[in-house]
Amino acid sequence: MTQPIGSLLMISLHGYVAGSPELGKPDTGGQVVFVLELAKRFARLGYKVDVMTRRFEDQPAEDVINDNLRIWRIPFGGPDFIRKEDMHDWYGDFITNALAAIRRRGLRYDVVNSHYWDAGVCGQKIAEELQIPHIHTPHSLGWWKRHDMHGATAEEMAGYRFEERIQKEFVLYRNCDHVIATSEQQVDLIVAEYALPREHVTMIPPGIDENRFTPATPDKVAAARQRLNMGPSDVYVVGRAAENKGYDLIIQALPALRILQPEARLVLAVGGNSEADFELIDTWKAVAAEAGIADFIDWRGYVPDEELVDYYRAPGVFALPSRYEPFGMTAVEAMACGTPTVTTIHGGLREQVEFGRHALVADPKRPEEFAAMINMPMQYPWLREVLTVEGARFARRVFGWTGIARRTIAVFEQFRGRYDAYQADVDP
């Protein structure tokens, strides 16, 4: 009889993956949080989990998080940071080094679970070599990112190598045993643009740490506001420096918002860790200066992990102005903290929330529309109270990580034992 799944290999290659990741560093954002939180819940549920990533700079070979979970770093591509768009040429080295390390240690896994297409391409080969199932989570899609960059210059497009990425995604989705998408919109795009059968895809949204991201009592909110110099007329936006995050769009919405709310400000926590990041931030500051509202924007830079919760609780409204956001984890975290939230129509979260009850939704590419939605909970206390209570309840029940982990394990279990007949040929 096939034994239940007990050991998982999760692969997430790009960014700074660690037990306590430095969020805001290049390529280190929502996906890293997603992978680590899911891994921690798998471990809590009793599964042995290795999160395999790239070793570079001065990182150790391993971080042991607990008895069931470790971060395992495999070197390839040299000692320096490589952005994910430029990592393509070293995947063969990673696959070789990873398989050698697995076999040298005599390790057995029941499932490979890869995240983003770079890890997916590698995870597929590793799963084939070990003759175990491979479940892939895309996080974002090359087709949609190229579509959303319509109008960009050829030079801007060249660095993303879209043709190569989309072709490899196309083959990956067919070769892996199953795809876990994080939104219904992503499911629809995979089915339509990658011609994948609908039954080959399951939608499971990202989760939140339901014990950490919670509402606070009024006195604690007041203390956070005083300490962080934020108030009920502030709009908070957080994320890494990236063009798709739409910081320029919310800056363009601020003049319209200030007509409705003369005291309104933007608090923009945009992390920058490279020359390219700081060039982008300078571009957004120029947008603010041109619009005449530079004095009403508070640039906070990187927010330390221990401050995240209070930053979510302190503003009057949290906004997610992304041009495209596969899901929008920061918006769910803000909702869980009891802060009225306005999210983008260009992403997966839109299909999950009930407009006017859990959150408000608008098109950030239409500045006046987005400003009007931000104004609503500031203008009407009854709406603010509904969003505060119902948004937090919704976020906790639908997006708590433990429930998300159980749903994911249920998908893994569907494929357990699929390749048992071949295991004798591939024993380490």
pLDDT tens by residue, 263-318:
999 999 997 777 888 889 999 999 999 999 999 999 998 888 889 999 999 999 99
Q: Which of 127-136, 221-230, 242-251 has the lowest mean pLDDT?
A: 242-251
Helix (H), strand (E) counts: the chain: 15, 14
Q: Which fold has domain 218-398?
A: Rossmann fold (3.40.50)
> Which among 100-114, 318-332, 337-351, 413-427 has the top mean pLDDT?
100-114
Q: Which fold has domain 7-207+402-425?
A: Rossmann fold (3.40.50)
> What value does the mean pLDDT take over residues 233-255?
92
Would you place residue 30 in the very low, low, confident or very high pLDDT band (cuts 50, 70, 90)?
confident
- Report the pLDDT value the prediction gives residue 425, as an integer from 0 to 100: 55
Average pLDDT score over the chain: 91
- Report the pLDDT value the prediction gives residue 200, as an integer from 0 to 100: 97
Would you place residue 243 in the very low, low, confident or very high pLDDT band (cuts 50, 70, 90)?
confident
> Is residue 22 scored above 50 in pLDDT?
yes
Q: Which of 51-60, 208-217, 416-425 has the lowest mean pLDDT?
A: 416-425
Backbone dihedral angles phi then psi of residue 109, each to the nearest 5 degrees: -125, 150
Please check whether the two domains, 7-207+402-425 and 218-398, share a CATH topology: yes
If DSSP codes are grouped into helix, strand and coil, which group holds residue 364?
Answer: coil
Would you place residue 154 in the very low, low, confident or very high pLDDT band (cuts 50, 70, 90)?
confident
* Contacts of residue 286, Cβ cutoff 8 Å, sequence gap at least 6: none
Instruction: Tell me the C-alpha distance between 33 and 23, whole Å.
Output: 8
> What value does the mean pLDDT take over residues 153-159?
74
Contact criterion met (CB below 8 Å) for 406 and 295: no
Backbone dihedral angles phi then psi of residue 262, each to the nearest 5 degrees: -60, -20
Q: Which of 30-34, 100-104, 295-299, 374-378 has the lowest mean pLDDT?
A: 30-34
Would you place residue 5 in the very low, low, confident or very high pLDDT band (cuts 50, 70, 90)?
confident
- Report the pLDDT value the prediction gives residue 113, as an integer from 0 to 100: 98
**pTM for the whole structure:** 0.67
- Domain spans of the chain, in order of start: 7-207+402-425, 218-398
Would you place residue 1 in the very low, low, confident or very high pLDDT band (cuts 50, 70, 90)?
very low
> Is residue 204 scored above 80 in pLDDT?
yes
- Report the pLDDT value the prediction gives residue 423, as an integer from 0 to 100: 62
* Contacts of residue 176, Cβ cutoff 8 Å, sequence gap at least 6: 114, 120, 123, 124, 127, 134, 135, 136
Share of the chain above pLDDT 70, in %: 96
Instruction: Tell me the C-alpha distance between 343 and 250, whole Å.
Output: 11
- Report the pLDDT value the prediction gives residue 427, as an integer from 0 to 100: 54
Instruction: Tell me the C-alpha distance between 46 and 44, whole Å.
Output: 5
Between the CA of residue 423 and those of 49, 127, 410, what are the distances in Å?
Answer: 20, 12, 22
Instruction: Tell me the C-alpha distance between 75 and 250, whole Å.
Output: 40
Contact criterion met (CB below 8 Å) for 38 and 408: yes
